[in-house]
Amino acid sequence: SAVIEEQKFSLQEVLDTFKLCLSENQDVYVEHYVAGWRGLVKFMNSLGNVFTFISKDAVNKIQILVNFLNGENGSHYVTIQSMVKYELDNQLVDLDKRGSHPESGSRTLLRLHRALRWLELFLERLRTSTEDSKTSVMCADAYNESLSQHHPWVIRKAAGMAFCVLPGRPTFFEVMNVGGAEKVVDMLGDAVPMISKVYQITEDLYSQNNLLELP
Ligand code: 1Q0
Protein backbone atom coordinates (compact mmCIF):
# COMPACT_ATOMS: atom_id res chain seq x y z
CA SER A 1 0.00 0.00 0.00
CA ALA A 2 0.95 3.63 -0.32
CA VAL A 3 1.69 3.81 3.39
CA ILE A 4 4.27 1.07 3.18
CA GLU A 5 5.82 2.37 -0.03
CA GLU A 6 6.19 5.89 1.24
CA GLN A 7 9.67 5.75 2.66
CA LYS A 8 10.77 8.56 4.86
CA PHE A 9 13.94 10.16 3.74
CA SER A 10 16.95 9.50 5.91
CA LEU A 11 20.27 11.22 5.41
CA GLN A 12 21.94 8.24 7.02
CA GLU A 13 21.05 6.10 4.01
CA VAL A 14 22.37 8.71 1.62
CA LEU A 15 25.68 9.00 3.35
CA ASP A 16 25.89 5.22 3.55
CA THR A 17 25.88 5.08 -0.25
CA PHE A 18 29.15 7.00 -0.20
CA LYS A 19 30.60 4.14 1.84
CA LEU A 20 29.76 1.80 -1.03
CA CYS A 21 31.80 3.98 -3.40
CA LEU A 22 35.15 2.53 -2.48
CA SER A 23 36.24 -0.80 -3.89
CA GLU A 24 38.76 -3.03 -2.12
CA ASN A 25 41.64 -1.51 -4.07
CA GLN A 26 40.43 2.04 -3.51
CA ASP A 27 38.72 2.56 -6.83
CA VAL A 28 35.59 4.71 -6.76
CA TYR A 29 32.39 3.21 -8.20
CA VAL A 30 30.56 5.68 -10.42
CA GLU A 31 27.23 3.96 -9.74
CA HIS A 32 27.33 4.57 -5.99
CA TYR A 33 28.90 8.01 -6.36
CA VAL A 34 25.99 9.03 -8.51
CA ALA A 35 23.49 7.38 -6.17
CA GLY A 36 24.92 9.38 -3.28
CA TRP A 37 24.38 12.59 -5.22
CA ARG A 38 20.83 11.56 -6.11
CA GLY A 39 20.04 11.21 -2.43
CA LEU A 40 21.57 14.59 -1.64
CA VAL A 41 19.52 16.21 -4.36
CA LYS A 42 16.38 14.64 -2.90
CA PHE A 43 17.32 16.02 0.47
CA MET A 44 17.95 19.44 -0.98
CA ASN A 45 14.66 19.51 -2.83
CA SER A 46 12.85 18.76 0.40
CA LEU A 47 14.25 22.02 1.78
CA GLY A 48 12.25 24.11 -0.69
CA ASN A 49 11.91 25.45 -4.23
CA VAL A 50 14.69 27.99 -3.95
CA PHE A 51 17.17 25.18 -4.10
CA THR A 52 15.99 23.67 -7.34
CA PHE A 53 18.25 25.93 -9.42
CA ILE A 54 21.16 24.32 -7.60
CA SER A 55 19.84 20.79 -7.79
CA LYS A 56 18.93 21.10 -11.48
CA ASP A 57 22.56 21.36 -12.42
CA ALA A 58 23.45 18.42 -10.20
CA VAL A 59 20.62 16.37 -11.74
CA ASN A 60 21.93 17.20 -15.21
CA LYS A 61 25.38 16.04 -14.34
CA ILE A 62 24.14 12.88 -12.66
CA GLN A 63 22.18 12.09 -15.83
CA ILE A 64 25.22 12.57 -18.09
CA LEU A 65 27.17 10.05 -16.01
CA VAL A 66 24.27 7.58 -15.85
CA ASN A 67 23.99 7.75 -19.64
CA PHE A 68 27.65 6.82 -20.00
CA LEU A 69 27.24 4.05 -17.46
CA ASN A 70 24.26 2.60 -19.34
CA GLY A 71 25.73 3.26 -22.78
CA GLU A 72 27.59 0.92 -25.09
CA ASN A 73 30.92 1.78 -23.47
CA GLY A 74 29.46 1.44 -19.99
CA SER A 75 32.01 -1.12 -18.88
CA HIS A 76 34.68 1.61 -19.01
CA TYR A 77 32.60 3.79 -16.71
CA VAL A 78 32.34 1.42 -13.77
CA THR A 79 34.94 3.29 -11.72
CA ILE A 80 36.22 6.85 -11.87
CA GLN A 81 39.70 5.42 -12.46
CA SER A 82 38.63 3.38 -15.48
CA MET A 83 36.53 6.25 -16.83
CA VAL A 84 39.43 8.72 -16.73
CA LYS A 85 41.82 6.23 -18.31
CA TYR A 86 39.37 5.28 -21.06
CA GLU A 87 38.47 8.87 -21.91
CA LEU A 88 42.09 10.02 -21.93
CA ASP A 89 43.34 7.04 -23.95
CA ASN A 90 40.66 7.68 -26.54
CA GLN A 91 40.91 11.50 -26.68
CA LEU A 92 37.40 11.91 -25.36
CA VAL A 93 38.20 14.85 -23.07
CA ASP A 94 38.51 18.54 -23.93
CA LEU A 95 41.71 19.35 -22.06
CA ASP A 96 42.30 23.12 -22.34
CA LYS A 97 39.25 24.57 -23.99
CA ARG A 98 35.80 23.42 -24.84
CA GLY A 99 35.73 21.56 -28.12
CA SER A 100 34.16 18.41 -29.44
CA HIS A 101 33.73 16.76 -26.00
CA PRO A 102 32.06 19.41 -23.86
CA GLU A 103 30.30 16.84 -21.69
CA SER A 104 32.93 14.20 -21.06
CA GLY A 105 32.48 12.00 -18.02
CA SER A 106 35.76 13.33 -16.61
CA ARG A 107 34.80 17.02 -16.73
CA THR A 108 31.27 16.29 -15.56
CA LEU A 109 32.41 14.31 -12.56
CA LEU A 110 34.95 17.02 -11.73
CA ARG A 111 32.04 19.43 -11.09
CA LEU A 112 30.45 17.04 -8.63
CA HIS A 113 33.84 16.36 -7.11
CA ARG A 114 34.32 20.06 -6.37
CA ALA A 115 30.88 20.16 -4.81
CA LEU A 116 31.78 17.14 -2.68
CA ARG A 117 34.50 19.22 -1.05
CA TRP A 118 31.86 21.78 -0.13
CA LEU A 119 29.73 19.00 1.34
CA GLU A 120 32.63 17.67 3.36
CA LEU A 121 33.39 21.11 4.82
CA PHE A 122 29.74 21.86 5.49
CA LEU A 123 29.06 18.54 7.22
CA GLU A 124 32.14 18.95 9.36
CA ARG A 125 30.91 22.38 10.45
CA LEU A 126 27.47 20.97 11.13
CA ARG A 127 29.00 18.18 13.20
CA THR A 128 30.89 20.57 15.44
CA SER A 129 28.16 23.21 15.57
CA THR A 130 26.22 24.28 18.63
CA GLU A 131 22.53 24.97 19.11
CA ASP A 132 22.83 28.61 18.17
CA SER A 133 25.01 28.06 15.09
CA LYS A 134 23.51 29.30 11.86
CA THR A 135 23.25 26.85 8.96
CA SER A 136 23.39 29.77 6.51
CA VAL A 137 26.75 30.86 7.89
CA MET A 138 28.18 27.34 7.99
CA CYS A 139 27.00 26.76 4.45
CA ALA A 140 28.40 30.05 3.15
CA ASP A 141 31.75 29.56 4.89
CA ALA A 142 32.10 26.07 3.45
CA TYR A 143 31.15 27.38 0.01
CA ASN A 144 33.54 30.33 0.11
CA GLU A 145 36.35 28.01 1.10
CA SER A 146 35.77 25.61 -1.79
CA LEU A 147 33.27 25.59 -4.63
CA SER A 148 32.93 29.36 -4.96
CA GLN A 149 36.46 29.56 -6.39
CA HIS A 150 35.16 27.74 -9.45
CA HIS A 151 32.03 29.86 -9.90
CA PRO A 152 31.55 33.18 -11.69
CA TRP A 153 30.18 36.15 -9.78
CA VAL A 154 26.57 35.69 -10.82
CA ILE A 155 26.44 32.13 -9.48
CA ARG A 156 28.19 33.10 -6.26
CA LYS A 157 25.59 35.80 -5.83
CA ALA A 158 22.69 33.41 -6.41
CA ALA A 159 24.21 30.80 -4.10
CA GLY A 160 24.57 33.45 -1.41
CA MET A 161 20.89 34.27 -1.68
CA ALA A 162 19.96 30.59 -1.44
CA PHE A 163 22.02 30.18 1.73
CA CYS A 164 20.14 33.03 3.37
CA VAL A 165 16.85 31.16 3.16
CA LEU A 166 18.22 27.86 4.45
CA PRO A 167 16.16 26.57 7.34
CA GLY A 168 17.72 26.76 10.78
CA ARG A 169 19.68 24.02 12.47
CA PRO A 170 16.69 22.41 14.27
CA THR A 171 14.64 22.07 11.05
CA PHE A 172 17.70 20.85 9.24
CA PHE A 173 18.29 18.11 11.77
CA GLU A 174 14.63 17.15 11.62
CA VAL A 175 14.61 16.80 7.83
CA MET A 176 17.75 14.70 8.06
CA ASN A 177 15.60 12.23 9.99
CA VAL A 178 18.45 10.63 11.84
CA GLY A 179 17.24 11.24 15.39
CA GLY A 180 18.26 13.74 18.07
CA ALA A 181 21.22 16.08 17.81
CA GLU A 182 23.53 13.53 19.42
CA LYS A 183 22.62 10.92 16.85
CA VAL A 184 23.25 13.41 14.07
CA VAL A 185 26.67 14.20 15.46
CA ASP A 186 27.51 10.47 15.66
CA MET A 187 26.30 9.84 12.16
CA LEU A 188 28.32 12.75 10.82
CA GLY A 189 31.40 11.60 12.71
CA ASP A 190 31.05 8.40 10.74
CA ALA A 191 30.13 9.90 7.38
CA VAL A 192 32.54 12.81 7.06
CA PRO A 193 35.77 10.73 7.07
CA MET A 194 34.20 8.47 4.45
CA ILE A 195 33.36 11.41 2.21
CA SER A 196 36.84 12.88 2.77
CA LYS A 197 38.38 9.62 1.64
CA VAL A 198 36.36 9.45 -1.57
CA TYR A 199 37.18 13.11 -2.17
CA GLN A 200 40.91 12.63 -1.61
CA ILE A 201 41.21 9.59 -3.85
CA THR A 202 39.43 11.41 -6.66
CA GLU A 203 41.48 14.55 -6.08
CA ASP A 204 44.75 12.57 -6.30
CA LEU A 205 43.62 10.84 -9.48
CA TYR A 206 42.70 14.12 -11.16
CA SER A 207 45.84 15.80 -9.93
CA GLN A 208 48.12 13.01 -11.18
CA ASN A 209 46.51 13.26 -14.60
CA ASN A 210 46.52 17.06 -14.65
CA LEU A 211 42.75 17.21 -14.92
CA LEU A 212 41.85 19.59 -12.10
CA GLU A 213 41.17 22.50 -14.43
CA LEU A 214 39.17 20.74 -17.13
CA PRO A 215 37.00 23.28 -18.98
C1 1Q0 B 1 21.65 22.92 1.27
C2 1Q0 B 1 22.19 24.02 0.46
C3 1Q0 B 1 22.93 23.56 -0.67
C4 1Q0 B 1 23.98 24.49 -1.11
C5 1Q0 B 1 24.80 23.93 -2.19
C6 1Q0 B 1 26.02 24.70 -2.44
C7 1Q0 B 1 26.29 24.91 -3.86
C8 1Q0 B 1 25.75 26.18 -4.34
C9 1Q0 B 1 26.12 26.61 -5.70
C10 1Q0 B 1 25.54 25.82 -6.79
C11 1Q0 B 1 25.21 26.58 -8.01
C12 1Q0 B 1 24.77 25.65 -9.10
C13 1Q0 B 1 24.44 26.35 -10.37
C14 1Q0 B 1 25.22 25.84 -11.53
C15 1Q0 B 1 26.57 25.79 -11.50
C16 1Q0 B 1 27.39 25.31 -12.66
O17 1Q0 B 1 27.76 26.38 -13.43
C18 1Q0 B 1 28.60 24.61 -12.09
C19 1Q0 B 1 29.65 24.33 -13.12
O20 1Q0 B 1 29.16 23.46 -14.07
P21 1Q0 B 1 29.44 23.79 -15.60
O22 1Q0 B 1 28.83 22.66 -16.39
O23 1Q0 B 1 28.77 25.11 -15.88
O24 1Q0 B 1 30.93 23.88 -15.78
N25 1Q0 B 1 28.15 23.42 -11.47
C26 1Q0 B 1 28.61 23.03 -10.29
O27 1Q0 B 1 29.47 23.63 -9.69
C28 1Q0 B 1 28.02 21.78 -9.69
C29 1Q0 B 1 27.28 22.21 -8.49
C30 1Q0 B 1 26.55 21.10 -7.92
C31 1Q0 B 1 25.93 21.53 -6.66
C32 1Q0 B 1 25.23 20.42 -6.11
C33 1Q0 B 1 24.68 20.68 -4.82
C34 1Q0 B 1 23.71 19.65 -4.54
C35 1Q0 B 1 23.81 19.18 -3.26
C36 1Q0 B 1 23.39 19.25 -2.27
C37 1Q0 B 1 23.52 18.72 -1.02
C38 1Q0 B 1 22.56 19.24 -0.13
C39 1Q0 B 1 22.54 18.53 1.10
C40 1Q0 B 1 23.33 19.17 2.09
C41 1Q0 B 1 23.02 18.82 3.41
C42 1Q0 B 1 23.53 17.59 3.79
C43 1Q0 B 1 23.22 17.20 5.08
C44 1Q0 B 1 23.02 17.98 6.17
Instruction: Check residues 5 and 46 and name the one with the higher pLDDT.
Output: 46
- The 10s digit of each residue's pLDDT in 4-42 is 545 567 888 888 899 999 999 999 999 999 999 999 998
Band of pLDDT at residue 50, cut at 50, 70 and 90: confident
**Distance, CA 3 to ligand 1 centroid (Å)?**
32
Percent of the chain with pLDDT over 70: 96
For ligand 1, the distance from its centroid to the CA atom of residue 193, given in whole angstroms, is 20
Mean pLDDT of 105-124: 98
Q: Which domains does the chain have, with CATH numbers?
A: 10-94+103-208 (1.10.3520.10)
Cβ 136 vs Cβ 144: under 8 Å: no
Is 32 or 2 the better-scoring residue by pLDDT?
A: 32
pLDDT the model gives residue 80: 98
Among 38, 44, 213, which residue has the most ligand 1 atoms within 8 Å of its CB, making it the best to mutate?
44
pLDDT of residue 75: 98
Distance between Cα 152 and ligand 1 center (Å): 13
How many Å lie between the centroid of ligand 1 and the Cα of residue 58? Answer: 6
Taking the model in full, what pTM does it have? 0.94
Cα–Cα distances (Å) from 88 to 31, 75, 107, 180, 209, in that order, read 20, 15, 11, 47, 9
Q: What lines the ligand 1 site, CB under 6 Å?
A: 11, 40-41, 43-44, 47, 51, 54-55, 57-58, 111, 114-115, 118-119, 126, 139, 143, 147, 155, 159, 166, 176
Distance CA 136, CA 161 (A): 10
> pLDDT higher for 54 or 211?
211
**Ligand 1: nearest atom to the Cα of 55:** 34
Please, what sign has the CA dihedral across residues 11, 140, 181, 129?
A: positive
Top mutation candidate among 57, 98, 128 for ligand 1, by most atoms within 8 Å of CB? 57
Confidence of residue 45 (pLDDT cuts 50, 70, 90): confident
